[in-house]
Amino acid sequence: MATAGANNLMSSLMERLDAIQTSLNGIIETLGEIKLTTNQHDYRITSLEKHCEEAKKEHDEVKKELRVISNNCIERADIWKWGRDLRASGKGDPENFWNKLVTNGTLMIVGPTIGCVVAFFIGKILK
């Protein structure tokens, strides 16, 4: 009877060990899944940090460019105001600009031509 009790105790212990082994296998499997999930999250966080650094660099570059543009605008504000006032007074008419351009071009061509003709006739008279 002592043997039967010992066998019964051994089989009970073996069943408990099998249950513990099954629980440990489940825990190992769950830890493996947790490890995979952690690796995925680690990769995502690393990618996000890299993306944030690139966005910050880009933001800084845009900020520098905006400063340059802003400084140019500040430097040219007086010129812009002068042009605005000129247009408001009517003296800065684009049509007037083209008229002046054509007139100056014509004078640059006609002036020397007339000078040459006059010099030719003076040369003929003095000969």
Q: What is the pLDDT of residues 26-75, one digit of tens each?
A: 999 999 999 999 999 999 999 999 999 999 999 999 999 999 998 888 88
- Domain match, 25 and 83 both: yes
- Domain match, 61 and 103 both: no
- Domain match, 49 and 13 both: yes
Cα dihedral 41/43/44/49 (nearest 10): 120
- Domain match, 71 and 27 both: yes
Mean pLDDT of 71-84: 85
Report the number of distinct structural domains present in the chain: 2
Cα dihedral 36/42/45/49 (nearest 10): -150
* DSSP letter assigned to residue 93: -
- Domain match, 88 and 101 both: no
- Domain match, 41 and 62 both: yes
pLDDT of residue 2: 58
- Domain match, 15 and 53 both: yes
Q: The domain containing residue 42 runs over which residues?
A: 2-92
CA distance 13 to 96: 110
- Domain match, 50 and 111 both: no
Q: pLDDT (tens digit, 9 = 90+) per residue, 98-113?
A: 788 888 889 899 999 9
Which two three-digit tokens encode residue 105? Answer: 């071009």
